[in-house]
């Protein structure tokens, strides 16, 4: 078991593939990891599978009291990884203003509100905020509401980085491309091979690929990178294809 370095890292959406991988990597790095998600059973299972200093806290981060309780539970908070979010593709013709509002409420506003509480806790000694955006913010079909919410996360990241730099709070974003998550569970081998072929590196990304970057950005040793968006997509954002 890895010993805690005395600093706490919160990971939201920690029951899912990327959240679980990020939590495991930060625990390996020596953080005490406070994992949070709405799905208590999946969250408990995820936490039980991680070696290191971890605990979990079930919370609906759309609720103000839950956000406050989560931050209060974190002791010496140094890092916040905003990984929680929703995704439900639909063509623009089928979208409504309500669809946009729900996406923003969860993917952008809840992230902002939690970050605001975290930065108040970090203000005395500095810290790291890592926002999980998406490569979709560059543009992608059938996800206009999702892409817009993640584009807002990118803009928010840059604004926060500028305002929080004097307090030594570094704020960065990760924009994953196609990552092995339950969304791909029903895809056939042929469909998956075609999807992988669109990525210049020739494979679908793994949760650990995102976790490795989150580890770097959350580290106390990374102290001169802020306001950046790191796209983790196997080179797809600079390659060809149509996905």
Q: Which residues are catalytic?
A: 146
Inter-helix orientation angle 17-28/40-48, to 10°? 40
Residue corresponding to tokens 């669109």: 198
- The crossing angle, in degrees rounded to 10, of helices 207-218 and 17-28 is 50
Report d(CA 173, CA 166) in Å as an integer. Answer: 19
Go through 32-45 and write b for each residue having 16 or more CB atoms within 10 A of its CB, e for each that does not. bbbbbbbeeebbee
Largest CA distance in the chain: 53
Question: If you write DSSP's letter for every residue of 16-68 in order, what string do you get?
Answer: SHHHHHHHHHHHHTTPEEEEEES-HHHHHHHHHT--SSEEEEE--TTSHHHHH
Strands (E) across 60-182 are located at 77-82, 127-132, 169-176
Please calculate the CA angle 17-29-215 and round it to the nearest 5 degrees: 55
Both ends of the chain: CA-CA distance in Å? Answer: 41
């Amino acid at each position: 078991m890895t010993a805690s370095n005395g600093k706490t890292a919160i990971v939201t959406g920690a029951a899912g593939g990327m959240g679980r991988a990020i939590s495991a990597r930060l625990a390996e790095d020596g953080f005490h990891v406070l994992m949070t998600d709405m799905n208590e059973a999946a969250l408990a299972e995820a936490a039980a599978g991680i070696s290191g200093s971890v605990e979990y806290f079930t919370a609906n981060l759309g609720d103000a009291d839950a956000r406050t309780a989560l931050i209060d539970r974190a002791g010496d908070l140094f890092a916040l990884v905003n990984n929680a979010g929703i995704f439900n593709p639909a063509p623009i013709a089928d979208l409504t203003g309500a669809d946009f509002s729900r996406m923003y409420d969860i993917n952008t506003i809840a992230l902002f509100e939690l970050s605001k509480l975290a930065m108040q806790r970090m203000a005395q000694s500095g810290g790291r905020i890592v926002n999980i955006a998406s490569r979709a913010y560059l543009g992608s079909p059938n996800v206009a509401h999702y892409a817009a919410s993640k584009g807002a996360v990118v803009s928010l990241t840059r604004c926060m980085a500028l305002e929080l730099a004097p307090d030594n709070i570094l704020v960065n974003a990760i924009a994953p491309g196609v990552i092995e998550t339950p969304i791909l569970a029903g895809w056939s081998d042929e469909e998956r091979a075609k999807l992988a072929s669109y990525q210049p590196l020739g494979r679908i990304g793994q949760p650990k690929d995102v976790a490795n970057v989150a580890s770097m950005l959350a580290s106390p040793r990374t102290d001169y990178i802020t306001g950046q968006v790191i796209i983790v997509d196997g080179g797809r954002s600079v390659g060809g294809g149509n996905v």
